[in-house]
Amino acid sequence: MSQRPGNQLFDAYFTARNMRDVFSDKGRVQGMLDFEAALARAEASVGVIPQAAVSSIEAACQAERYDFQALGEAIAIAGNSAIPLVKALGKQIALGDADAERYVHLGATSQDVMDTGLVLQLRDALDLIEGDLARLGATLARQATLHQATPLAGRTWLQHATPVTLGMKIAGWLGAVSRSRQRLHELKPRLLSLQFGGASGTLAALGDKAWPVTQALANELQLVLPEQPWHTQRDRLVEFAAVLGLVAGSLGKLGRDISLLMQTEAAEVFEPAAPGKGGSSTMPHKRNPVGAAVLIGAATRVPGLLATMYSAMPQEHERSLGLWHAEWETLPEICCLVSGALQQALLLAEGMEVDATRMGRNLDLTQGLVMAEAVSIVLAQRLGRDAAHHLLEHCCKRAVAEQRHLRAVLGDEPRVTAELSADELDRLLDPAHYLGQAQRWVERAVAEHNELSA
């Protein structure tokens, strides 16, 4: 059966296709059907249902057999997706084996089907996100190493500060990616947990077979067996959403930095060029940062969705009214937005265009003022901190007022030349000699990435 039509105009821009497949109607339905098939196998393995019924139930657990539009219309009446799906599943089974139909869904409740089906989808989503983060980390590690000694202006409060290196900036992006990879690895045992509690969480309908069925079901689905059902304890899902929020924010930082470096006035780093990419409908000269826009857009949208996940946590008793429902589209949309941002980040990182010459020219826009600290630090050791600071401040003001390079002003200042030779001044005014620990930060970020990827 075909999927219901949706709003697809922006999907290719904001969402990775493989992630949208995970959370498509087919993906959602198949996750729930995988639960039902595994439940039948588990119950047969401990003697709750006949082994002969399993094959008929399994054969009907194929999403292609179901009309998603009809299910959607039924959900509007039933209040959740499991009720009409289980009914449709029973009808499918009965067509070939009327006896097997009586054993489907035995002891389970709708939320067991939906939550565990969701966890199965999230496992696939997590694999995609982890794979993309690993690839992004590898690319950023290469770029950081390549540009570890490429000076550019550090910028604080959007103004030129002291020099940094492009490699150091990229290493900052890389470090955030590595930390997200660590967080995702750490939360896996909590997220990938079976939800199976029956009507109210006690599994009373299965009697003394409840625990063996639960163990067998967790094994069938290769999910962690939690200490108890988590019908209305939603911290597992919210933790995952929160980490994805961190991923989105970190990618947004990358996108923001690139978009600022790509501004006409800076023109230091660019997204990769491609035919038709970043153009304007009216201005032929434009080259817009369209990839960075996706990263920034996701970082802007995900926090609001994350707020919904947090707001839905205080769920009532053993089954929530409305709060559970608020999660159904929210967490998948977070996954989809992060997937789209990752796709754009990969394209951007792999094809990043760097203009090191322009970086050098921009460093000299202030005519040496960005190197004032370097001179002040050395003079402070000879004249005292306050005296050196005031002297350099005076020289900087003169350089601006007279529209002269700071090096020329310092060379005319007797209190400076009495302490520093011409060669010392030349060295102190060279950005390449004032990069501090930039290379070390790159090496450490790359080493951390390599350790994670080993």
DSSP class per residue in 243-260: HHHHHHHHHHHHHHHHHH
The answer to whether the CB of 158 falls within 8 A of the CB of 368 is: no
For the chain, the residue count is 454
Which helix or strand (DSSP H or E) is residue 269 part of? strand 269-270
Q: Output the six-digit token pair for 360.
A: 């050098």
Helices 166-191 + 110-146 axis angle, to 10: 160
CA distances from residue 149 to 84, 163, 317, 437 in whole angstroms, order as listed: 62, 11, 59, 11
Look up 319 and say whether it is catalytic: yes
Q: Which of 17, 102, 200, 280 is catalytic?
A: 280
Which helix or strand (DSSP H or E) is residue 426 part of? helix 422-428
DSSP assigned state of 271 = P
Q: Which of 135, 256, 287, 319 is catalytic?
A: 319
Look up 180 and say whether it is catalytic: no
The answer to whether the CB of 353 falls within 8 A of the CB of 270 is: yes
Partners of 193 in beta bridges: 224
Distance in Å from the first CA to the final CA of the chain: 44
Instruction: Just list the catalytic residues.
Output: 280, 319
